[in-house]
Amino acid sequence: MKVHTDLNNFSAKNPVVTIGTFDGVHLGHKKVIKRIQELAKAVNGETVIFTFYPHPRLVLDTNQAELRLINTLEEKKILLEATGIDHLVIYPFTKEFSKLSYTDFVEKILVGKIGMKSLVVGYDHKFGHKRKGTYEDLKVYADKLNFNIEQLEVLNVDAIDISSTKIRQALSQGDIETTNKYLGHRYFIKGIVVDGKKIGHEIGFPTANIDPQESYKLVPKDGVYAVKVEIDEVMYTGMLNIGFRPTVNHQMDNRSIEVNIFDFDENIYYKNISIYFYKRIRNEQMFKGIDALKEQLIKDKETVLELFK
């Protein structure tokens, strides 16, 4: 996959394009990606995903502090590369760009710079200034500018329309099973191991503190989770706590993401690791003291090991 952050010297053979934020790269997105791959194969062309950075709402929304996304840009790249697309365009989204009409966007960028031959859009796709460009509008331009256009229906799973919004809702409730089902892959957090308070070491459950690097990354509901941890392409089992650590953190200042990796004692400070979520096993709790906390952690580990048998 070639990644492009500008369109100078962009070159692709018979480009088949789709556009969107692709947050989560979920089953609905994968349906669109599969279709552009089918169309590209039929015309001996190449697939192009056109996305934006930062997310448009981070630029335009006055309530951007409340915005949470399923993926960081780095995570999105990993997921899109895994689909086997040829080109990923990460176009800089600015207030100036947001004022571009959909007609100029199609004519000057998609056709003028990318050379688009086919465009596939989702069932609810709108774009351009104030999202005024609809599928019906695009069909008129397709004839005028000599490209093909196709719209796909919404993807249903168990009679539920798959969307990034529904996945965000499931994550905020700690519903990992539904999240993973709608994504079509395991939800994960990729981040850097940072210094912590090292209290876990003192009670025999050392933890790696994870910083996802992007403030808008959606972190699931507080609680304890069964996870797999990827370090240097090796997978380990672990249990992860999200929350305020009420037994040991009396300031209640900020949420932490801490993972106890089973049968592992290497120094991984400042390494990039990935954590894959399997199941939420309990709420975060306040214990009477360290001994009670340790007793519960022993039970949690048994629960996780049983789950992964």
Tens-digit pLDDT profile for the chain (309 aa)? 999 999 999 999 999 999 999 999 999 999 999 999 999 999 999 999 999 999 888 888 767 677 889 999 999 999 999 999 999 999 999 999 988 888 899 999 999 999 999 999 877 666 665 666 677 878 888 888 999 999 888 777 776 788 999 999 999 999 999 999 999 999 999 999 998 766 656 667 889 999 998 888 999 999 999 999 999 999 999 999 998 765 444 433 468 899 999 999 999 999 999 999 999 999 988 877 788 888 999 999 999 999 998
Longest dimension (CA), the chain: 73
Strand runs labelled E in the chain:
2-4, 16-19, 47-53, 87-92, 118-121, 148-151, 156-157, 160-161, 188-194, 208-211, 223-231, 234-243, 256-261, 272-282
The pTM for the full model equals 0.90
Burial class (CB in 10 A: 0-12, 13-18, 19+), 291: exposed
Cα–Cα distance measured from residue 273 to residue 107, given in angstroms and rounded to the nearest whole number: 42
The single-letter DSSP state of residue 109 is I
The hierarchical CATH code for the domain 188-308 is: 2.40.30.30
Within the chain, all domains assigned CATH 2.40.30.30 are found at 188-308
Architecture of domain 2-165: 3-Layer(aba) Sandwich (3.40)
Within the chain, all domains assigned CATH 3.40.50.620 are found at 2-165
